Amino acid sequence: MQWRPRLIAPVLCLAWMPRCEATPDTGDSSGACQVSPGDLLIVEIMARPNVPPEGSSRPRVEWFEVFNASLEPRSLAGMVFEAGTTTRPKTQRVPASMAPTLQPGDFLVVGNGFLGDGVTGHAWPEMVLADDGATITLRCGDRVVDQVTYGDDVPGPGKARIGQSWQLSSRVFQAGMAPDPTVNEVPEQWCLSGPGEKYDDEGNQGTPGSPNRACVLPGECRDGAEYRPIRAPEPGDLVLTEWFANPAGTDGSREWFEFLARRDLDLNGVVVDHLVTTNSRTVTLQGEVCLATSAGQYVVVAESTVPTENGGITGLPWSPGAFDLYNDAVTVTWKTGEGTVLGMARVPRSREGVSQSLDPGSLDRSDPEQQDWCASGTSGYFEGMGTPGLPNEDCP
C-alpha cells in the first residue's frame, strides 16, 4: 500500500483541486506567528525527484519536511517560507485562514504539488528547489526559526541527488529537545534515503510525513540494530598478505587482496592506495555497517561477494564494489581516512591467474619488500592459484 501523508488541519484546499496553494495574506493581524527559533526544524529535503513517465497525471513534487521539535502545538499562521538560490528565492507567507497546526512530534511536508498528490501536506505550487547552492528558511517576523543550506561545500546536506531525499538523522532531533536551530547545519548528520524507503510509483526514496532514518553519525558504524564507535586500526594492526590483480582472461570482478588483522577492529574508513611509477589508484573501505574483523582473521577484500562473479570465493560478507588493481609491481599503502599510515608493502608484478603471497616468515615486517613475496602455488580455494581467507604457505 502506498503511504499517504496525514494532512494537518485546518486546510481549506480540497484534494480534488488540480492545483492548490495558500492565498495571498490579507494582512489580518490574527495571522501573526507565534513560533520561536528551533521550535520547527527542516529535517528532510527532496529537490530532485524522478520525472513521471510521459502521459502520467502524477505531478513531479519537490518538497521539504518540517518537524515540530517543541512540546506545544505550533501553528504556521503568519510564518514566511523562503526557498531557492540567493539570486532567485521564492517566498510564501502562510495566512491564518489556511495555516496548518503541527502537534509535538508532527512532520509536515511542504510541496509544490497539490493536496492529495500522495506527498504534499501543505501546498506551495510556486516553490522551486534548486539542485545545488540553495537555502530554505522558515521565518516568524524578523526571527529565523530555522534555515538549511544544501549543496556542495556548505554547512548542511549535500547537492540534490536524483530520486533521493536528504534526511537529518532521527537520532539528533526529537519533540521536547532544547531549541537548537543549528542541529541541521552539520553535514555529517544528514544522509541520503535508501532503496527501502520508496514512497511513490516513480521509485523516489524518502520518508515524507514519517520519521527519518537513523543515519550513522561520524565515527560510528551500525552493528546489527545498534550503533557504536568504529574500532579504528592503529599502525601495525593490519598486514597485507595476498594480492590478486591479474585474473586469467578478462578481469571482470575477480580481483581481490587480503589483510591479516592483528586485533579486533573495524575496516570502515581504511584507504588502500597502490602506486606504480607515477600513477596511483585508491580503494576505500566504507559503509554504514561495521566492517568488523577479529584478531587473527584473514580478510578478503573483493570486488563482489557473489562467488560466480568474484572467481569462486565464498563466504564474503561485504564488498567495497568495483576496483582496478595494477598488474605491475606496486607499492601498496593503507591508511586511515585522516591520512595516518597503517602499513606499507612492495608487491611484485602479478602473474596471470596467480596471487602474490607474503611469506609467513615476513608477517612481522613493517614494510615487506618484493623479495618477501612469491607467486602462490596453492590451488583449490577459488578458480585461480592462492589462498583467499586462509594463511599462506611458505615461499620456496
Contact at 8 Å (CB) between 46 and 207?
Answer: no
Contact at 8 Å (CB) between 256 and 244?
Answer: yes
The Cα 141–Cα 60 span in angstroms is 31
42 strand-pairing partners: 66
Contact at 8 Å (CB) between 207 and 198?
Answer: no
CA 220, 222, 226, 231 dihedral sign is negative
282 strand-pairing partners: 273
Contacts of 57 (CB under 8 A, 6+ apart): none
Contact at 8 Å (CB) between 103 and 34?
Answer: no
Contacts of 314 (CB under 8 A, 6+ apart): 307
- What is the pLDDT, as a whole number, of residue 3? 43
- Nearest residue to 217 (alpha-carbon basis) of 191, 240, 239: 191
- Nearest residue to 319 (alpha-carbon basis) of 283, 358, 275, 282: 283
Contact at 8 Å (CB) between 224 and 230?
Answer: no
CB-based burial label for 226 (10 Å; 0-12, 13-18, 19+): exposed
The Cα 381–Cα 311 span in angstroms is 10
Is-same-fold flag (29-215; 238-375)? Answer: yes
Peptide bond into 211 cis (omega under 30): no
Parallel, antiparallel, or unpaired for β 80-84 and 298-302? unpaired
Would you tell me how many other CB atoms lie within 10 Å of the CB of residue 103? 12
Q: DSSP per residue over 25-43, as a string?
A: P---GGG-----TTTEEEE
The Cα 190–Cα 209 span in angstroms is 17
- Nearest residue to 267 (alpha-carbon basis) of 283, 286, 282: 286
The Cα 328–Cα 28 span in angstroms is 76
- Nearest residue to 256 (alpha-carbon basis) of 363, 355, 360: 355
- What is the pLDDT, as a whole number, of residue 238? 98
Contact at 8 Å (CB) between 255 and 319?
Answer: no
Contact at 8 Å (CB) between 298 and 259?
Answer: yes
- What is the pLDDT, as a whole number, of residue 278? 84
Parallel, antiparallel, or unpaired for β 298-302 and 256-261? antiparallel
The Cα 346–Cα 282 span in angstroms is 16
CATH fold of 29-215: Immunoglobulin-like (2.60.40)
Structural domain boundaries of the chain? Answer: 29-215, 238-375
Name the phi and psi angles at 54, rounded to 5.
Answer: -60, 135
Longest CA span, the chain: 90
pLDDT by residue, tens only, the chain of 396 residues: 444 444 444 333 333 333 333 333 333 434 588 999 999 999 999 999 999 988 888 899 999 999 999 999 999 999 999 999 888 899 999 999 889 999 999 999 999 999 999 999 999 999 999 999 999 999 999 999 999 999 998 989 999 999 999 999 999 999 999 999 999 999 999 999 988 999 999 999 999 999 999 999 889 999 998 999 999 999 999 999 999 999 999 999 999 999 999 999 999 999 999 999 889 999 999 988 999 999 999 999 999 999 999 999 999 999 999 999 999 999 999 999 999 999 999 999 999 999 999 999 999 998 999 999 999 999 999 999 999 999 999 999
Contact at 8 Å (CB) between 275 and 330?
Answer: yes
- Nearest residue to 203 (alpha-carbon basis) of 45, 49, 6, 4: 49
Contacts of 209 (CB under 8 A, 6+ apart): 3, 5, 6, 65, 107, 108, 109, 119, 121
- Nearest residue to 21 (alpha-carbon basis) of 70, 85, 90: 90
CATH fold of 238-375: Immunoglobulin-like (2.60.40)
